[in-house]
Structure 1
Amino acid sequence: MTIFAIDDTDKAPFAGILPAAPKPFVLGNGEGEKSLVFDQLFTILLSADETEDQFGAFTMQGNRGDRIPAHTHLKTHEIFYVVDGEITVWMDDTADYHSKTTLTTGDFAYVPAGTVHAFQIHNSSKVFGCGTAGFERFFHAMGQKSDLTEPAGIYVPDFEVMRAAGEKYATVFQPDFQFRD
């Protein structure tokens, strides 16, 4: 069952980086489909194309920064595994689970679909993420294609770009959401 469009136009600028089919491959350090979103570098390592719509895998690298706006993925389950560094993750299921947890190297967090969440990077950090197949292209829809190997510069998408990416990838931005700290 495909949750997101198979013919996703957000992958076109990256054609040839990943095999686009379920066959073995290897990426070297720093390789993958890269997009700069705000001040964070997202690198897609594996997409729905390679996993027959099972999951997507990516990394996020960033330096100390502000908390990203609260948001909810309506169809996507997401993980955070801190490869290196320190981030705080806020999660609220709007029922009985409310948390603010600082994750350091080796820590893991799971955000089920429908959970309001946000994160903030405290120092230079690298996070491995995995999510529902197809969602990984959300970062391309929001960001700017990049050849960087480390996060540098800032790309702030227009509100219309954010809104369109949110609609396409079933993500609702909630900048006024109040987490229980």
Structure 2
Amino acid sequence: MTTFAADDPDKVAFAGILPAAPKPYVIGNGQGEKSLVFDQLFEILVSGDETDDQYGAWTMKARQGDRIPAHTHLRTHEFFYVVDGEISVWMDDQAEYHTKTTLTTGDFAFVPANIVHAFKIENTTTVFGAGTAGFERFFHAIGQKTDLDQPQGVYVPDFSIMRAAGEKYATVFMPEFRFRD
């Protein structure tokens, strides 16, 4: 398991929002740790700090947009549960499994570690996601801290930021990868 120090810069900007320890808490709608990544608003609801490094959970809100770059997480399993809206998800194990599925409200997708994947928001959508502990901070490392309640604008990180976040959170960007649509 990967743990990150209390002074990790991907946590510091958000100090005090989540309790940073496994104790009970409640946060209201829109009160989590928020970052804008491309045109998507990510809000961390619980991190590895609160779950003894077991998992992290977040929401992602976005309007219709372009497909995000193909990528794989080397250590992180994650899932998508569509709370409201429509999102297309591409997954490829680079062997036998190749799929593009459009998920709508109530649908679920599981993406194990080492599966190349990408997604595209088809219309205004809210997704609940969770993954292996520590990974949730990836959204802070690659994104821009914000107080927005709804996604607006676009934040495109420099490739050097994407690369550094990928190295830290074991994520490999694969812009040359071609899915079998």
CA RMSD of aligned residues (A): 0.8
What amino acid is aligned across from residue 111 of structure 1 in structure 2?
V
C-alpha deviation, 1:4, in angstroms: 4.3
Residue matched to 2:124: 124
C-alpha deviation, 1:5, in angstroms: 2.8
Gaps of 5+ in 1: none
User: Are the equivalent residues in 2 in contact too, given 1:3–1:75 (CA < 8 A)?
Assistant: no
TM-score of the superposed pair, with normalisation by structure 2? 0.98
Residue matched to 1:30: 30
Gaps of 5+ in 2: none
Residue matched to 1:115: 115
What amino acid is aligned across from residue 10 of structure 1 in structure 2?
D
Residue matched to 1:78: 78
Residue matched to 1:53: 53
Off by >6 Å, runs of 4+ in structure 1: none
CA distance in 2, matches of 1:44, 1:87: 20
Residue matched to 1:158: 158
Name the % identity: 73
User: Are the equivalent residues in 1 in contact too, given 2:91–2:99 (CA < 8 A)?
Assistant: yes
CA distance in 2, matches of 1:90, 1:6: 34
C-alpha deviation, 1:136, in angstroms: 0.2
C-alpha deviation, 1:44, in angstroms: 0.2
Residue matched to 1:63: 63
Structure 1 counterpart SS, 2:117: strand
Residue matched to 1:100: 100
C-alpha deviation, 1:96, in angstroms: 0.8
What amino acid is aligned across from residue 176 of structure 1 in structure 2?
E
